[in-house]
A = this chain, B = another copy of it.
Amino acid sequence: MPIGEFDLIAKFFTRSVTRAALGVGDDCALFAASAGMQLAVSSDMLVEGRHFLPTVLPQRLGHKALAVNLSDLAACGAKPMAFTLALALPRVDEVFLDGFARGLLALADAHGCELVGGDTTQGPLNICITVFGEVPTGEALLRSGARPGDDLYVSGTLGDARLALEVFRGQLALAGAAFEAVRCAMEQPQPRVALGLALRGVASSAIDVSDGLLGDLAHVLRRSGVGAEVQVDAMPRSDVMRALPEALQRECTLSGGDDYELVFTAAPQHAARIAAAALTSQVNVTRIGAISAATGLRLIDRDGRAVVNTFGSFDHFKS
């Protein structure tokens, strides 16, 4: 006899909750934000074939589904508190669910983020997570705060997830270890939560890179009413990336997508505080350009020459 909906919730997703007054199993989860805190909320939906491939290990998928949501909290400088999980599955697959739950809950535990409720149903595979964090009132990092003269930074490295996608698409060949490295970047992104927290009161704006650096940066520029000059050869790259043709490096780092790094701005006098934030959160941060009063995006190469922007941005209804 197949396991039913309620058994499924109980078996894989019910855990004792500590933060929430009431967790999985009542009509609502109940919890309180601390005094003086705003609640930061973000929701992401992952669909097979679009956000992940059918070949992904369930454990990595569980990790990624929460990671992309935590990345949104990181971009706001919010501390993770709790999340809900809504899951549509074609059928009850206990091997899948066991792996998925382990990957999901391991990342949740690492960030002190509690599963407080959700929904399961039969249907084409679909994972929707809504995450809740808290941030002192008025201190959230926004897209709208970039100011002319600010330095422009990005965390970690860019483009590896795109390399993995190109391999899966048969457009690129990589040796075993190199492929494993970029596949890990695609399937197990590390949300920059600690960096986001460390950037409160230092960064003037932030966004996470999900659709490609230039596309996501454009949201910041539009919201802030400013422009930027970006040094295309300054993009932080992995060793795997550096071994590839330069045109491919630029394409993948500038518009690859699925990076879940933070792009942020800060006044030049905060350079030392940015370095300190990188150090405490144990992630590299690279200056990749500067904000200008003139709107629009100008790309320059290592010799200061203009680079024509032919780099796209990912759109779920256009790609």
Chain A residues with CB under 8 Å of chain B are 2-6, 8, 21-22, 25-33, 35, 37-51, 72-73, 75-76, 78, 82, 84-88, 91-92, 116-124, 126, 128, 130, 132-133, 135, 137, 140, 142-144, 206-208, 223, 315-318
* A47 engages B121 (CB within 8 Å): yes
A140: which B residues are within 8 A, CB to CB?
22, 28, 30
A6: which B residues are within 8 A, CB to CB?
315
* A30 engages B88 (CB within 8 Å): no
* B8 engages A143 (CB within 8 Å): no
* B43 engages A84 (CB within 8 Å): yes
Complexed CA–CA distance, A260 and B313 (Å): 42
* B143 engages A41 (CB within 8 Å): no
Residue among B2, B40, B123 making CB contact with A50, cutoff 8 Å: B123
With contact pairs A84-B43, A87-B45 given, residues A27 and B143 touching in the complex (Cβ less than 8 Å)? yes
A47: which B residues are within 8 A, CB to CB?
88, 121-124, 126
Complexed CA–CA distance, A124 and B142 (Å): 32
* A41 engages B27 (CB within 8 Å): no
Residue among B33, B85, B133 making CB contact with A32, cutoff 8 Å: B33
Copies in the complex: 2
Complexed CA–CA distance, A128 and B208 (Å): 23
With contact pairs A6-B315, A39-B39, A121-B50 given, residues A44 and B88 touching in the complex (Cβ less than 8 Å)? no
Residue among B27, B45, B72 making CB contact with A128, cutoff 8 Å: B45
* A130 engages B43 (CB within 8 Å): yes
* A38 engages B21 (CB within 8 Å): yes
* B37 engages A32 (CB within 8 Å): yes
A122: which B residues are within 8 A, CB to CB?
47, 50, 316-317
